[in-house]
Amino acid sequence: MNSVVTSLMDFLCVGGASRVRKMSSWRAYIIAVTIISTAAALDNPFASTNVSLACLSEHCLTSMVECQANKICRESISCNAKCLDKWDEDKTKEKIQVQNCSNICQFSYYDKTVDKFMSCVTKHNCITLPLIPNTCRTSIVKPAKQLSVKDTEGDWWVVRGYHPVYDCYPCQHPHFQAINETSWEYAPTYVVPLANGSHAVISQKFAMPVAPAGQNISFHYHDAGLLHYETWWLLDKADDGSFVTVYYCGNTMNWNYEGALVMSRNTSLSNDAYTKIAASYKATVGLDFSEFCVDDVINCNDVKYN
């Protein structure tokens, strides 16, 4: 019997006994089975992952029962558990393979039930994932120009990206527009891989505050039930407005990540432009441009990936 199930049995027999006694026997049995089966899927073979069974029972019992009854939600939990099982095998600094695996699970198995369950779990800190350390370069960021979110207005293509997962999806087509005097809408569209080997087009919308020119932009959003916090720095912009460079840092639960985007008005830039961009990233945030991925924005056909 794995550690989560063993702990759960102790909880039901000791700490949670008074709660169980108040229920009819059949309801107590169903709830116990639900918690055991769901928690077992969340269990992982490394000690740094913590699943609080008391927290799940106290705060997320309804959403957990719904999740256990929903095939997509069960598959989502099972898929993510298999990703986390590979934690020790992933030797990359930011556990890139695990992050990519987890993202594929998120895109492949998602509905309102998943969102409700994960929102509850994260809101009440019922699960603590193993740490991905913070690599953010906050202290050394020196933007080349005094830019604000207003400098991003309109449509762009992401032609280069730094984070191997989040920044390298094909057909990234962000759009920025004003909502009101204090906030803007960031609406990215991109193509993601699914667990069955196919692809899907994802479109999202996030609100970003209007910060003074030259200052970073901090905002938060929910994605598949997970609360993300991100800070963006607009680093540089071509004199002709053909590109804007971005550096960002973020975290969700206790996974930290950093990334960078080269956003172009067209699907390609000149070699001279890339030379300037490489020098700019080195000077503004110390990134090696040779480590950036080349995003596929050519074969998109109105953002329908071939």
Q: What is the pLDDT of residues 104-162, one digit of tens each?
A: 999 999 999 999 998 898 889 888 888 888 889 999 999 999 999 999 999 999 999 99
255 vs 26: which has the higher pLDDT: 255
Instruction: For residue range 52-111, list pLDDT tens digits in order.
Output: 888 888 899 899 889 988 999 999 988 988 898 899 999 998 899 999 999 999 999 999
Say whether pLDDT at 299 is over 90.
no
**For 23-60, what is each residue's pLDDT tens digit?**
444 444 444 445 445 555 554 433 345 778 888 888 99
- Which residue from 255, 235, 257 is spatially nearest to 246, judged by alpha carbons? 235
Across 274-297, average pLDDT: 97
Q: Where are the domains of the chain?
A: 3-128, 138-294
Q: What is the pLDDT of residue 294?
A: 95
With beta carbons less than 8 A apart as the criterion, state whether 230 and 224 touch: no
Mean pLDDT of 297-301: 81
In this prediction, residue 164 has a pLDDT band, given cuts at 50, 70 and 90, of very high
Quickly count: other Cβ atoms within 10 Å of residue 36's Cβ.
Answer: 18
Among 16-30, 168-182, 218-232, which stretch is predicted with the lowest mean pLDDT? 16-30
CATH class in words for 138-294:
mainly beta
Is the pLDDT higher at 216 or at 8?
216
Radius of gyration (C-alpha) of the chain in whole angstroms:
22
Q: Tell me the average pLDDT across 258-273.
A: 96
Structure tokens at 268: 């390609």
Tell me the three-class secondary structure of 236-266, residue by residue.
Answer: EECCCCCEEEEEEEEEECCEEEEEEEEEECC
Average predicted confidence (pLDDT) for the chain:
84
* pLDDT exceeds 50 at position 21: no
Amino acid at the residue 194: L
Residue position matching structure tokens 């204090």:
182
**DSSP-derived pairing of the beta strands 217-223 and 226-237:** antiparallel
Mean pLDDT on 277-296: 97
Whose tokens are 């959403």? That residue is 63
| Predicted pLDDT at 9 | 39
* The pLDDT value given to residue 252: 87
What is residue 93's predicted lDDT score, i.e. its pLDDT?
83
Answer whether 56's CB lies under 8 Å from 5's CB.
no
| pLDDT score at 40 | 54
